[in-house]
Amino acid sequence: MFTIEQIKTAHSKVKSGADFPSYIQEMKSLGIKSYQHFVSDGHIQYYGDNNFKLPANAKWPPVEIAEKSSIENLKHYLGIHQQGQTDYISFCKQAASSGVEKWIVDISKMTCAYYDKTAKEMLVEIIPEL
């Protein structure tokens, strides 16, 4: 199964949202089926075959998630991130200010779904195939 070190190596290649499709392809090659990213502190839960789970620790001190979610703000921040105008940490802070509690990447479906604090789905994106 995959390891945190392998994931860190893949993630180290990501400079902006423009690199996300390549990153997902590398995650797929490691055997990762999906993952949940929690915006409040950056911890992630990775999932593989046969109910394999691998937690990754928090990456930053807790940030506040906005009580009121804004899909419009999320779309704006996501758009500029995907154009390479922001880095990962900046996007996470912007997502928090937009009310995003977590996102779930389903690699088998090639989707990324964003959820607010009430577990309401805010946006689902199709991840481009390379």
Judge whether residue 30 has pLDDT over 90: yes
- pLDDT, position 93: 96
Region 90-112: mean pLDDT is: 96
The reported pTM is 0.89
User: What is the domain class of 4-126 according to CATH?
Assistant: alpha beta
State CA 68 to chain mean position distance: 20
Mode of pairing for the β-strands spanning 102-106 and 34-38 = antiparallel
Rg (the chain; Cα; Å): 14
Judge whether residue 1 has pLDDT over 90: no
Domain range summary for the chain, segments of one domain joined by +: 4-126
Question: Which tens digit of pLDDT belongs to each residue from 60-77?
Answer: 999 999 999 999 999 999
* pLDDT category of residue 19 using cuts at 50, 70 and 90: confident
Beta-sheet strand order (sheet of 34-38): 53-56, 44-47, 34-38, 102-106, 111-115, 121-126
- pLDDT, position 119: 96
